[in-house]
Amino acid sequence: MASDKERNRLTARVQRYGRVGANVGGVAARIAGARLLGFDPDRDREASALASALGGLKGPIMKVAQLLATIPEALPAEYAAELGQLQSQAPPMGWPFVRRRMAAELGPDWESRFASFEREAAASASLGQVHRACAHDGRSLAAKLQYPDMQSAVEADLKQLALLFTIHRQLRPAIETSEMKEEIAARLREELDYDLEAGHMRLYRLIFEDDLLIRVPEVLPELSTQRLLTMTWLEGRRLLDYTDRPLDERNQIARAMFRAWWYPFSHYGVIHGDPHLGNYTVFEDGEGKAAGINLLDYGCMRTFAPKFIQGVIDLYRGLLTGDRALVVHAYETWGFAGLSNELIDILNIWANFIYGPMLDDRVRTIAEDRNIGMYGRREAFKVHQGLRDKGPVRVPREFVFMDRAAIGLGGVFLHLNAELNFHRLFDDTIAGVDLDDVARQQRQAFMASGVPLPEGTS
């Protein structure tokens, strides 16, 4: 590690500070100045300015901005709307650059270790890009290559995250964000560790071994490093290609998505923290019909101690039966503290929105008559108003990605316009879940996959 030239270099951080800090800091300074003089900032104008400041940047800060836009009350609504429109696609590295990067990871003879390696990237994102390749045994491969100096960029951008939260604090926040900042930082740092991502991929292959609905790539450790992850290529088409397919096909995809998200959580304490449409493809049966999904990206994962899983189940059952004591117990299990009756009622607005389809024992769409753009907006507004009066409330770390991922999953169901009995699906998934069994399964599976046990695990 001492010879690792990309480990959080000071010079790279300073350069990044210059690019990011000037842009974000200028917006923060204008807002602070306006409040100091007794004026309310023009939120629409400043939100647009912040989005413009970030829009020309690539890398981690884009992921942070988009993440904040998906968490209710993490930023004011005007900021969330603007930041949610940012795109995380980065221009791919050219071939000379890729060739040098690959040589740095696998040695100067790296090309001989593949039967073929495509020069053009198949996909690019904020932290790296993917190239198609072929193994000597004939298998199709995907090689995920991290951009240079990403560790330095992450550490620099996390410093700027404090400025985004400074903006938040100056605009009468409804939630207290200290835990949220720590959680985002931890997950973003993990995304740089391709050894950890390989472990998560092995974990999901173990969980879904022989599953008919869900396929997981296989890691090739001999062609992988901490910044290069080589895996088998899973053929499939993008999920949005199926939005006009017959209902039975759309429902098949939705059932697979539901299982891919809720089963690992309820039985092993792990979720896919970024249910982005680009992280899945659909595979078909012999008749050309949608048969299931390929899970493609394991960089943004979140693991939980078994007690958190029980909290999710307790909240579901408390809302289902009207058992307020069980609902409160669930919130306290998650780490919410100092909750008054008024704050509990406000939190229940959001809980009833998230759990709503699973509380309703009938076939339905995920959001009934609401469109994708309005999904959750009404409930978020009610929560915002309530917390302004009775809050702020401190959001526990574990809640951040759980909530964000649940919203993303609901968005997938909205795109598919699936019609399912989500209550029955959830009941079947959690049937017989026992904390002792979960703890045992989690320990065995995590150790076999090389994934660290979550904090708080005894």
pLDDT, tens digit (0-9, with 9 covering 90-100), for 282-318:
999 999 999 999 999 898 899 999 999 999 999 999 9
For strands 237-238 and 280-284, give the pairing: antiparallel
For position 322, what pLDDT does the model report? 96
Q: In the structure encoding, which two tokens stand for residue 388, read together?
A: 């302004």
Q: In whole angstroms, how far apart are CA 50 and each of 34, 85, 191, 315, 391?
A: 16, 12, 25, 37, 26
Structure tokens at 83: 């930041």
Q: Indicate the average pLDDT of the chain.
A: 82
The two three-digit tokens of residue 418, written as one number: 């699936």
For the whole model, what pTM was predicted?
Answer: 0.83
> For 168-178, what is the mean pLDDT?
62
Strand partners, 128: 146
Q: Give me the helices (H) in 269-396, please.
A: 306-321, 324-334, 341-359, 377-390
By percentage, how much of the chain surpasses pLDDT 90?
49
pLDDT at residue number 167: 64
Percent pLDDT > 70 in the chain is 72
- The token pair at 64 is 């942070």
166: left (phi over 0), alpha (psi -120 to 50) or beta: alpha
Q: What is the pLDDT of residue 255?
A: 97
Asked if the model's pLDDT at residue 326 lies above 50, the reply is: yes
Partner residues linked to 237 by β-bridges: 282
Q: How confident is the model at residue 224 (pLDDT cuts 50, 70, 90)?
A: very high
Higher pLDDT, 140 or 210: 140
Distance CA 420, CA 357 (A): 9
Least confident of 51-60, 155-164, 268-277: 51-60
Range among 87-91, 254-258, 400-404 with highest mean pLDDT value = 254-258
Predicted local confidence at residue 402, as pLDDT: 81
Neighbours of 34 (CB within 10 A): 15
Write down the pLDDT at residue 4: 61
Asked whether 272 and 295 are in contact (CB, 8 A), the reply is yes
User: What Rg do the C-alpha atoms of the chain give, in angstroms?
Assistant: 22
* CB 90 within 8 Å of CB 119: no
Question: Is 406 or 201 the better-scoring residue by pLDDT?
Answer: 201
Three-class SS state of 282 = strand
CA-to-CA distance for 423 and 419, rounded, in angstroms?
A: 12
pLDDT at residue 126 in the model: 73
Say yes or no to pLDDT of 97 above 60: yes
